[in-house]
Amino acid sequence: PRANPRQRFSVKFYMTAILFLVFDLEVVFIYPWATRYKAWLADDGFGHVAFWGMAVFVAILSLGLLYEWKRGAMDWE
In a domain, 8, yes or no: no
The total number of structural domains that make up the chain: 1
Give the pLDDT score at 4. Answer: 74
In a domain, 1, yes or no: no
What is the mean predicted confidence (pLDDT) over 7-16?
80
Confidence of residue 28 (pLDDT cuts 50, 70, 90): very high
CB neighbourhood size of 9 (10 A): 7
Q: List, in sequence order, every beta strand (DSSP E) within the chain.
A: none
In a domain, 17, yes or no: no
Give the pLDDT score at 57. Answer: 92
List pLDDT tens digits, range 31-75: 999 999 888 888 777 888 899 999 999 999 899 889 988 988 778
In a domain, 13, yes or no: no
Q: Give the structural domain span for 27.
A: 22-71
What's the predicted TM-score (pTM) here? Answer: 0.70
In a domain, 48, yes or no: yes
In a domain, 15, yes or no: no
CA atoms of 37 and 48, how far apart (whole Å) = 9
CA atoms of 16 and 71, how far apart (whole Å) = 13
